[in-house]
A and B are shown apart, each in its own frame.
Chain A
């Protein structure tokens, strides 16, 4: 059980860290000027050349691998709802690392989504 809890923590942390790194990379790459083909190709070129994107991708791959490991140890009805913790960890990362202004209403929304996803995923 302790082994599963540790791997679950690493799974949630690596997944959230990967997504935060990709978000940081996309912000640094800058938004496309228009949502048309040429600016979008230019944006994707900038995004794929950004180092933070390539920091995020292996972290997300690690998270996916750990999810498979967890699924081989514990029942899916426990693992998938527990993975909803990513919403809370991701929001904490967004607040303290990306310095987003997460007000009370957004926190309330995130917590409702987190509980809702856990209930839906539990089946």
Chain B
């Protein structure tokens, strides 16, 4: 496998990890906070919600996934272009839509499908470019 192809595969794997971790982490966070209930904006209310969040297994599970997102994001940015990674990670919006429709049986509006189609087309176009173009960083190190 050529270096160029290896770099592309490595980058796409890390972007995929980012999207999976962010989508799962956000969904678990939403689920965990729904279990806890609405947060009251008083000293006692905030303290109670904080304690409930810290003793919730779902919230901790969400935090693990969000740390996974942060590490995969930092790692992929160490070799790939920001202008490549940032739009590619928008696939999370499409992933949430597909999960909502197929796993949760939600109805998706035509307008949302148009948005998802534009995101997929945009990510496809960005995916056709080289993942790393900046050479200035190598010199700066």
* Chain A residues near B (Cβ < 8 Å): 19-20, 22-24, 26-32, 35, 40, 43-44, 47, 87, 90-91, 93-95, 98-103, 105-106, 108-123
A24 CA / B87 CA spacing, docked (Å): 18
Counting CB contacts under 8 A, is B46 at the interface? no
Other-chain contact of A31, B78, B86, B93, B123 (Cβ < 8 Å): B78
Counting CB contacts under 8 A, is B111 at the interface? yes
Given A23-B82, A100-B81, 10 more A-B residue pairs with CB atoms under 8 Å apart are A26-B74, A31-B79, A44-B71, A105-B128, A106-B84, A109-B126, A116-B90, A119-B111, A120-B112, A121-B93
A119 CA / B113 CA spacing, docked (Å): 9
A68 CA / B115 CA spacing, docked (Å): 24
Residues of B within 8 A of A27 (CB): 77-78, 134, 137-138, 140-141
Q: Which residue of A lies closest to B17 (CB)?
A: A35
Main secondary structure on chain B at its contact with chain A?
A: helix
Cross-chain pair count, CB within 8 angstroms: 148
Q: Which residue of B lies closest to A47 (CB)?
A: B74
Q: Are B115 and A20 in contact, with the CB atoms below 8 A?
A: no
Q: Which residue of B lies closest to A106 (CB)?
A: B129
A25 CA / B89 CA spacing, docked (Å): 19
Interface size on B, residues (CB 8 A): 42
Q: Given A27-B78, A106-B125, A109-B124 in contact, is the A101-B118 Cβ separation under 8 Å? A: no
Counting CB contacts under 8 A, is B97 at the interface? yes
Counting CB contacts under 8 A, is B54 at the interface? no
Other-chain contact of A100, B93, B123, B134 (Cβ < 8 Å): B134
Q: How far is the CB of A98 from chain B (nearest CB, A)?
A: 6
Q: Which residue of A lies closest to B13 (CB)?
A: A35
A46 CA / B128 CA spacing, docked (Å): 31
Q: Given A112-B119, A120-B97 in contact, is the A100-B133 Cβ separation under 8 Å? A: yes
Q: Are A109 and B122 in contact, with the CB atoms below 8 A?
A: yes
Counting CB contacts under 8 A, is B27 at the interface? no
